[in-house]
């Protein structure tokens, strides 16, 4: 693996298990809040870029988008509470085929409330499936959760939530990533960025239209673990097109 790709994976949290007492130089409140990210250090200046994520999905352009090719066959490996989110890492073997390229699934993580909004509506929780090519190109599939019925798959996963920041747990319930996807895979697509520093742009975003449900207790279990909202506010869409 090239050094540049290793650096990129570290930046977006792939297999980066934060030790106890790890201090992040960015956060979600006060002097390290999202509006301050670009000022924290030069490497984060892209956070003021013109193609940032998340966005409010409102005005869209109709397009003949191809069906998503999600080849998810590997199992979940570990779960970590890294102080900024809960991240589930996957063993090798799953991928997304997009734009005639293969993006390997590395992990999914959670935000509450949602980062993206749809017609100005915020959701209780948002799950990001993060994929990367061998060349370091990124694609993220986002799934929204609203408060409703208990989610059976989340129920299993929540039993193994690391309560202490920095803890990593080897998962016993090694569900496939497909377990957390909706039945219908209709989606919005746009170009954006990472939603955390360094806010690197050029990320292919796929936001699924079908909304999943999770119970009030399940949503609170995650949000209370974080002790604070961990969503970046929506960013200006500017001249970008949102396809559907």
Instruction: Give 4-50 pLDDT, tens digit per residue.
Output: 444 454 445 443 333 333 457 999 988 999 999 999 999 999 999 99
Phi and psi angles of residue 72, each rounded to the nearest 5 degrees, phi first:
-100, 105
- For 222, the 3-state DSSP assignment is helix
| Beta pairing class for 168-170 and 76-81 | antiparallel
pLDDT of residue 1: 39
Specify the DSSP element, H or E, that contains 5: helix 3-11
**Which residues have a Cβ under 8 Å from the Cβ of 71 and sit 6 or more positions away?**
94, 95, 96, 97
Q: Report which DSSP code applies to 121.
A: B
Angstrom distance (rounded) from CA 128 to CA 74: 17
Tell me which of 108 and 225 has the higher pLDDT: 108
Determine if the pTM surpasses 0.85.
yes
Angstrom distance (rounded) from CA 244 to CA 236: 19
Domains annotated on the chain, with CATH: 3-18+49-226 (3.10.200.10)
DSSP string spanning 139-206? EEEEEEEEE-S--HHHHHHHTT---STT-EEE-SS--BGGGGS-S---EEEEEEE-SSTT--EEEEEE
Angstrom distance (rounded) from CA 102 to CA 35: 34
208 contacts 155 by C-beta, under 8 angstroms: no
pLDDT digit string, tens, across residues 154-188 = 998 888 888 888 888 898 877 778 989 999 999 99
Question: Of 57, 196, 180, 190, which Cα lies nearest the Cα of 116?
Answer: 57
pLDDT digit string, tens, across residues 104-155 = 999 999 999 999 999 999 999 999 999 999 999 999 999 999 999 999 989 9
pLDDT of residue 17: 33
153-177 residues labelled b (16+ CB within 10 A) or e (exposed): bbeebbeeebeebebbeebeeeeeb
Angstrom distance (rounded) from CA 181 to CA 43: 34
pLDDT of residue 7: 45
112 contacts 126 by C-beta, under 8 angstroms: yes
Angstrom distance (rounded) from CA 20 to CA 83: 9
pLDDT of residue 173: 73
pLDDT of residue 165: 83
């Amino acid at each position: 693996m090239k050094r540049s790709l290793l650096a990129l994976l570290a930046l977006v949290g792939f297999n980066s298990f934060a030790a106890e007492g790890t201090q992040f130089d960015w956060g979600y409140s006060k002097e390290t809040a999202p509006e301050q990210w670009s000022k924290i250090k030069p490497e984060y200046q892209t956070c003021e870029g013109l193609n940032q994520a998340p966005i409010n999905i409102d005005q869209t352009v109709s397009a003949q988008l191809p069906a998503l090719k999600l080849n998810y066959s590997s199992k979940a490996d570990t779960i970590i509470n890294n102080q900024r989110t809960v991240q589930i890492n996957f063993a090798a073997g799953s991928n997304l085929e997009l734009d005639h390229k293969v993006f390997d699934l590395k992990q999914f993580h959670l935000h509450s409330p949602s980062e993206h909004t749809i017609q100005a509506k915020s959701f209780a929780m948002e799950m990001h499936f993060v994929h990367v090519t061998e060349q370091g190109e990124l694609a993220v599939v986002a799934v929204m959760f609203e408060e409703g019925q208990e989610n059976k798959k989340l129920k299993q996963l929540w039993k193994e939530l690391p309560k202490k920041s920095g803890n990593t747990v080897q998962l016993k319930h090694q569900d496939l990533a497909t377990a957390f996807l909706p039945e219908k895979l209709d989606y919005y697509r746009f170009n954006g960025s990472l939603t955390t520093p360094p806010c690197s742009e050029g990320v292919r975003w796929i936001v699924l239209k079908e909304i999943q449900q999770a119970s009030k207790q399940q949503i609170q279990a995650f949000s209370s673990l974080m002790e604070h909202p961990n969503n970046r506010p929506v960013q200006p869409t500017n001249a970008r097109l949102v396809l559907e």
